[in-house]
Amino acid sequence: MAAVEELAQDERRPALSENLRATRHRAELAVFRHPHSQRLASPNCKFIFWTSAAYIGHRSSSWPNGRCQMRKLTITRRISRRGSRSLWVVALVVLAGLIIANTSVALATPPSGVKSAPIAKGRFVDIYVKAKTDIDPGMRTDFWQAVINTKGSSDLEILQNTIAPGGTFGWHSHPGPSLVIVKSGTATFYLASDPTCTPHVVMAGSGFVDSGGDVHVVRNEGSVDLVTVVASLIPAGETRRIDEPNPGNCPF
């Protein structure tokens, strides 16, 4: 009789408050155990389960030829082994992503001692240009030729860079080709793909081509300012410069 009264009181128990819903991670379970099998069942007995969220409900369960023996237990909500393993996998993936992201940021090499002044920027639709000029009309093999063939809209950006002595552009790449003119000073650039870190020196009045996608760095290893004018053809809307981590093939 006492067990029935206590069960009835449990059924009338109000829902947990909002604070308990948010902070409580324990639950009460009225357990009816069969004295021999220790199963969570017996004739005409009910068990009621509350979690930290709210009152869930109850159900009836029968067990042949058994007797009720009610105990009040306080249990802690646990995660199943399978669920626990899944959570561990997710946590490890997220942690690895954070480590990679932080490492990339830490190794990125932004410009130093560089001042950039945009000159012009324009957008073009698909470009297809093929030009050929005879250098010596009397010789069929002596000619100049240029081909520009793009698919999709492009942005053409022209800017002037001034790099102080000891300054560097940092390791970076571009999503499209660039034509670089050394206006004054001396430019020294290195390629990340070169394990020997061989310097490429370009004097004033000359230039070099960056085909796009190549990780490189341009430095001013001279004693006067280095001034360059750059024309970059890139996919429309894309960022002209992409910071890259130090590849580690050079001592600097």
pLDDT digits (tens, 9 = 90+) for 149-200: 999 999 999 999 999 999 999 999 999 999 999 999 999 999 999 999 999 9
pLDDT in tens, 11-41: 555 554 554 444 444 444 444 344 444 444 4
Domain ranges of the chain: 2-78, 109-124+153-243
Fold of the CATH domain 109-124+153-243: Jelly Rolls (2.60.120)
Q: How far is CA 79 from CA 82, 87, 88, 98, 189, in A?
A: 8, 10, 12, 25, 57
Pairing of β 154-168 and β 112-124: antiparallel
Q: Where are the beta strands (DSSP E) in the chain?
A: 26-32, 45-50, 55-61, 70-76, 112-124, 128-134, 143-149, 154-168, 172-173, 178-184, 186-191, 200-203, 207-210, 216-219, 226-235, 242-243
State pTM to two decimals. 0.58
